A and B are shown apart, each in its own frame.
Chain A
C-alpha cells in the first residue's frame, strides 16, 4: 500500500511538441481523516447501489440500470486526485462517480425514479447523471460516445485558460470508459485528437473484463497488453490496481498533476471487476460463480478497512457505526426520491431548445420561438 508510482508506466515517446517526460512526484498517503472520508464514500456508493437494485426490483426504477458494486475505489480514488472544478465525464455505469463527485444521493436516486428532484429533472435516468454544480458533464449511454466529449472538455479548459483568460492551462479532465469502449472507433479518434492538440485529459479505462456478456479476450484484440491502444497515439499509459483506493489516489494524483503541468493526455487502465451483472437483467451465464467469488474476496472496501485497522487503529465498531450512518443516509435518499413529485407534464416541452418551443404534432402549430425573432 505504500508504493507511490503506478505499477506500470510505459515510457512511450514523449510528445514531440512539448518534450514532456514522465516525472512523478512522491504522493504521500493522506491522513486518517481523509481515508475515513474515502471509506465513507465507498460504503455510500455500495449501499446506494444495493438500494438501487432493490428499487429496480420494486419497479421504482425503469429502463436500463448498471450497478457499480466492486468498482467503487476507482471513482473515489481518481476523483479525489483532481480539483473540484476539473471536468468529469462518464459512461453509463455512473452512479458511483456522481456520488464520489459530490452529488447528493437524494438527487441521484430521484433521477432514477424519474422524479422532478432528479439531477436532470428525471429526463436522463440512470445512465445520464449530469450535475453542473459539480462539473459533471454527464453519464453517456452510447458506448464510447463520451470519449470525444472528454477530449472536447479538455480542449475547452485549455482554450479558456490560455486564449480567453490569457494564462496557463490549469485543468485536467477525467474521462471514464469501460473496456467495451475499447472497440469503438470514436475512442481512437478522441485519443488521436487529444494527442495532436496536447490536451490535458485522462482516459480512465475501468477494465472490469466484460462488455455486457463478452469477455475482453473475445472482444478486444491485444487484450493481454492494452498499452498498445494508447501507444499508437503517443499517449502515456499506466496500469493501476483498481481495487486499492490509496494506490489509486496516489497514482492518479501523480498522473493528474503531470497532465495539468504538461498539458498532455494520459491513458490509465484500472483493473477491476463488477460484482453484479452488466445491467439488472443479466443472468451472468458467461462467467463462473468461482470467478465471481474469487474477485469478491479481494474487495476494495475490505482492504481499506483492513489498512485502517492495522495502520490507523480504526476499530471494527467505528466502521460499523459509519455503515449504519450511510445506510440511514441512503434510506432517507430513497424516501426523499419517493416523495419527490413526477415532473409536471409541461417539462416534456422544456429544455428542447434554450428558447421555448413546440411541439410539432403535424396537425397543430408549434409555438414559435418566443423572443427569438
Chain B
C-alpha cells in the first residue's frame, strides 16, 4: 500500500500520535520528550492522551531548554534508547544546533561505528501563519547539508504515520519535518500497521509535459497548480520526494526523462538549498533530456514577514508554480 485508501479518516496529528504510540507499545526503549508534550497534551495536541497511557517516565515534559534536552536525548540514544524529541517548532532547534548537528549526526562516524544515535527529532517546520521571521523557519536546506542525518517530510496523515514509524525504527538520527498548517488536515489511514520506506519517492499525479518535484506542504500547492495547468493543456507529473535524505533522485530522473521539463518547489530559501541541489542533480543526470533548464520556486530571499499579504506573497503558492511550469514548458 503506497497511498492513503480505506474507510478510516483521521487527522494528521492523530496519525503522528498513532505512530508514536504504536512504537512505544512495541518497544520500551522508545520514549517521547519535549516542551508541553505531557501534562499540556502537546502544544499542538499531537501527544494528547499519551501521558495517560505511558506515564510520566516515558512521556516527559521538559523545560524550554532545547540545547539541554536535545543533548540529553542524544546521550540516552548513545546507550541504545530510542528517544523521540518534539520541537514545538523546528525554529527552536536552532539553539540546539550543536547537539543535533555535531553530536547526533556525527556520533557514529566519530566513534568509528561504536556508538550510534537512533533518535527522531520532530516538530513543525515552515511558516505557520503570521509568526514572523524567527518562528517561521524552513530548516530543510539548512540541515540537509549535513551527512549523518536522515530527513523526512510527510505530505498527509497517511504519510505522517507511515514515515514516522519508519523514522522511529531507524537506527540513525532522523529529522522529521511536519507542518503546523497540515496538522488538522485529514486522510484515509488504515487501522493495521504499516510503514513507508525512506528513499522512495511517490508519484502523486501522473503527467507527460512537466515534472514538478516537492516535499510536504508545498505539494498541495503543486497539485493545485497541476489542475489549473491541465485546463491550459499542460499535463504535469507531481513527484513527492517523501525523504530529502536519502533522496530518491532515480525516480525524479526517470520522470524528467519522460517529460523533458522540471520545476522544483522547495519552501526554504533558494540559495544553496534542497531545491538547488535537486536542480543541479537533474541537470547532471538529464543533461541531454531537458528542453529547458530546471525552474525553481522557493520562499523569497528575505526574512519571513509578519503582515498577512507580505507573508502570502513570500511563500511558494500555486500561482508561482504555474508561472514556473509555463516558463519551463515554453508556454509563458
Q: How far is the CA of A88 from the CA of B102 in the complex (A)?
A: 19
A152 with B72, Cβ < 8 A, contacts A145-B103, A363-B284 known: yes
Interface membership of chain A positions 120-144, coded 1 if the CB is closer than 8 angstroms to chain B and 0 otherwise: 1111100010111000011010100
Q: Are B98 and A196 in contact (CB under 8 A)?
A: no
Q: How far is the CA of A186 from the CA of B60 in the complex (A)?
A: 19
A358 interfacial by beta-carbon distance below 8 Å: yes
A145 with B98, Cβ < 8 A, contacts A128-B110, A160-B81, A372-B197 known: yes
When distances are taken between beta carbons in the complex, the residues of chain B under 8 Å from A373 are: 197-200
B58 interfacial by beta-carbon distance below 8 Å: yes
When distances are taken between beta carbons in the complex, the residues of chain A under 8 Å from B108 are: 351-354
A354 with B171, Cβ < 8 A, contacts A152-B75, A368-B199 known: yes
Distance in angstroms from B79 CB to nearest chain A CB is 4
Distance in angstroms from A55 CB to nearest chain B CB is 20
Q: Are A186 and B98 in contact (CB under 8 A)?
A: yes
Partner of B109, one of A145, A352, A362, A369: A352
Question: Which of the segments A187-195, A261-269, A294-302 contacts the partner chain?
Answer: A187-195
A306 interfacial by beta-carbon distance below 8 Å: no
B250 interfacial by beta-carbon distance below 8 Å: yes
Q: Specify which of B62, B67, B112 lies most central, judged by the most chain A CB atoms within 10 Å of its CB.
A: B112
Question: Which of the segments B113-121, B126-134, B304-312 contacts the partner chain?
Answer: B113-121
Distance in angstroms from A68 CB to nearest chain B CB is 20
Smallest CB-CB separation from A194: which chain B residue?
A: B72
Q: How far is the CA of A362 from the CA of B280 in the complex (A)?
A: 7
A365 interfacial by beta-carbon distance below 8 Å: yes
Q: Are A153 and B78 in contact (CB under 8 A)?
A: yes
When distances are taken between beta carbons in the complex, the residues of chain B under 8 Å from A121 are: 112-113
Partner of B111, one of A87, A120, A150, A154: A120
Q: Are A155 and B76 in contact (CB under 8 A)?
A: yes
When distances are taken between beta carbons in the complex, the residues of chain A under 8 Å from B75 are: 89, 137, 148-156
A24 interfacial by beta-carbon distance below 8 Å: no
Distance in angstroms from B256 CB to nearest chain A CB is 14
Q: Are A145 and B102 in contact (CB under 8 A)?
A: yes
When distances are taken between beta carbons in the complex, the residues of chain B under 8 Å from A193 are: 62-63, 65, 68-69, 72
Q: Are A358 and B114 in contact (CB under 8 A)?
A: no
A142 with B72, Cβ < 8 A, contacts A120-B112, A193-B65, A351-B108 known: no
When distances are taken between beta carbons in the complex, the residues of chain A under 8 Å from B277 are: 362
When A and B form their complex, which 4 residue pairs have the shortest distance between CB atoms, in order from nearest?
Answer: A152-B75, A148-B71, A189-B68, A120-B112
Q: Are A160 and B79 in contact (CB under 8 A)?
A: yes
A307 interfacial by beta-carbon distance below 8 Å: no
Interface size on A, residues (CB 8 A): 61
Q: Are A130 and B110 in contact (CB under 8 A)?
A: yes
A159 interfacial by beta-carbon distance below 8 Å: yes
B204 interfacial by beta-carbon distance below 8 Å: no
Q: How far is the CA of A152 from the CA of B71 in the complex (A)?
A: 7
- Per the 8 Å Cβ criterion, residues 178-201 of A in contact with B are 185-186, 188-190, 192-193, 196-197
B319 interfacial by beta-carbon distance below 8 Å: no
Q: Are B57 and A87 in contact (CB under 8 A)?
A: no
B6 interfacial by beta-carbon distance below 8 Å: no
Distance in angstroms from A158 CB to nearest chain B CB is 9
Smallest CB-CB separation from A139: which chain B residue?
A: B110
Q: How far is the CA of A372 from the CA of B197 in the complex (A)?
A: 7
If A138-B115, A149-B99, A193-B63 are given as contacts, then 18 extra A-B residue pairs at C-beta distance below 8 Å, sorted by A number, are: A123-B112, A147-B71, A149-B74, A149-B75, A150-B75, A151-B71, A155-B76, A156-B80, A156-B81, A163-B57, A189-B67, A189-B71, A190-B71, A350-B113, A353-B172, A359-B147, A363-B281, A365-B249
A119 with B198, Cβ < 8 A, contacts A145-B98, A156-B75 known: no
Q: What is the interface of chain B, defined by CB distance below 8 A to chain A? A: 28-29, 31, 57-58, 60, 62-63, 65, 67-81, 98-99, 102-103, 107-116, 147-148, 150, 171-172, 197-200, 246, 248-250, 277, 280-281, 284-285
Q: Are B79 and A156 in contact (CB under 8 A)?
A: yes
Smallest CB-CB separation from A144: which chain B residue?
A: B98
Distance in angstroms from B63 CB to nearest chain A CB is 7
Q: Are A164 and B28 in contact (CB under 8 A)?
A: yes
When distances are taken between beta carbons in the complex, the residues of chain A under 8 Å from B98 are: 142, 145, 186
Q: Are A138 and B110 in contact (CB under 8 A)?
A: yes
A369 with B198, Cβ < 8 A, contacts A132-B114, A151-B68 known: yes
When distances are taken between beta carbons in the complex, the residues of chain A under 8 Å from B110 are: 120, 123-124, 128, 130, 138
When distances are taken between beta carbons in the complex, the residues of chain A under 8 Å from B246 are: 357, 366, 368-369
A234 interfacial by beta-carbon distance below 8 Å: no
Q: How far is the CA of A357 from the CA of B277 in the complex (A)?
A: 18
Q: Are A352 and B79 in contact (CB under 8 A)?
A: no
Distance in angstroms from B250 CB to nearest chain A CB is 7
A157 interfacial by beta-carbon distance below 8 Å: yes
Q: Are A369 and B199 in contact (CB under 8 A)?
A: yes
Distance in angstroms from B84 CB to nearest chain A CB is 14
When distances are taken between beta carbons in the complex, the residues of chain A under 8 Å from B58 are: 163
When distances are taken between beta carbons in the complex, the residues of chain A under 8 Å from B113 are: 121, 350-351
A6 interfacial by beta-carbon distance below 8 Å: no
A96 interfacial by beta-carbon distance below 8 Å: no
Partner of A130, one of B80, B112, B281: B112
Smallest CB-CB separation from B63: which chain A residue?
A: A192
A70 interfacial by beta-carbon distance below 8 Å: no
Smallest CB-CB separation from A173: which chain B residue?
A: B75
When distances are taken between beta carbons in the complex, the residues of chain B under 8 Å from A357 are: 246
Distance in angstroms from B248 CB to nearest chain A CB is 8
Distance in angstroms from A152 CB to nearest chain B CB is 2
Q: Are A365 and B114 in contact (CB under 8 A)?
A: no
Distance in angstroms from A159 CB to nearest chain B CB is 6
Q: How far is the CA of A89 from the CA of B76 in the complex (A)?
A: 12
Partner of B250, one of A120, A138, A149, A365: A365
